[in-house]
Amino acid sequence: MAKVLVIDDEPEVRVLLDIQLRHWGYDVVLAGDGLKGLQLDHQEHPDVILLDLNMPELDGVTVLKQIRAVDLKQPVIVLTGDSKPEAERQVRALGVSEFILKGSSLHLLSDALKRMLMPPASTTMARP
């Protein structure tokens, strides 16, 4: 079962995502702030991180920079209410896997998670 770390300061969002992700069959770990999220990332080694941008103390960009300093390939989906184009450009430059606005269809999140967790396609061709 794939493990998803949710880092979001809004309790309602964490509860909603916890319920929905578990319904989809994921193991879920929740963090209410960026510092706790980084601690849980190191302890739990999630398969995917769902990250909010606007959080007090350690914002999502700072958290993403710290994640990238350790692991350039960790799948991170930004799930945020910040619809400013510069916010998306900034996190994409840091190698975020997906950028989804809060309030979007949960199907977008489901599809993004499936893409992040899909095993890499085999690059070898079968010989006759």
Q: pLDDT category, 123, cuts 50, 70, 90?
A: very low
Q: pLDDT category, 56, cuts 50, 70, 90?
A: confident
Mean pLDDT of 57-84: 92
Q: Would you state the pLDDT for residue 13?
A: 94
Residues, the chain, total?
128
Q: pLDDT category, 82, cuts 50, 70, 90?
A: confident
Q: Tell me the residue type at 86.
A: E
Q: What are the φ and ψ backbone dihedral angles of 18, each rounded to 5 degrees?
A: -60, -50
Q: What is the pTM of this model?
A: 0.89
Q: What Rg value do the Cα atoms of the chain yield, rounded?
A: 15
- β-pairing, 3-7 vs 27-31, is parallel
Hey, what domains does the chain have and what are their CATH numbers? 3-117 (3.40.50.2300)
